[in-house]
Amino acid sequence: MAEHIKKAIAVIDQEAEESRDANIKQIAQVLIEAVSLRDDIALSYLQGSQKISGAFAKVREAARKTGGAVSDEDAYKIMFEHLGMQGLRVRTKLVVVEDERPAQAKPARLNLADFLS
């Protein structure tokens, strides 16, 4: 593994460990995947002075402008650009699963004699 990649991963890990925000920790995992792709991507990340928390703040700002929602793909695009990692994007794949159905209750047994007495 190239030296820039190792250093970028270490920097990302450190910020994730220092943060209590679960979003920052999740973003850090995606960033580690991104910098692991190529040495030049890792170098771009290292040359930038921005933090993950700052990039996430940009996403929150964009969400406020659009009424509170930004797709995952757009969110990561905003973060990559803010962190100086141009030309990257994240594709999300939706997986449809069936809800577990509750066990159906057995029909009550009715006795006509109970109603007639």
Among 14-23, 29-38, 78-87, 105-114, name the one with the lowest average pLDDT. 105-114
Collapsing DSSP states into helix, strand and coil, what is residue 112?
helix
CB 72 within 8 A of CB 56: no
> What residues contact residue 58 under an 8 Å CB cut-off, 6+ apart?
78, 79, 82
User: What pLDDT sits at residue 50?
Assistant: 86
User: What pLDDT sits at residue 86?
Assistant: 80
Angle, in degrees to the nearest 10, between helices 22-37 and 3-18: 180
**Domain residue spans in the chain?**
3-82
User: What pLDDT sits at residue 28?
Assistant: 93
Q: Per residue in 67-103, pLDDT tens?
A: 888 888 888 899 988 888 888 878 776 667 777 766 6
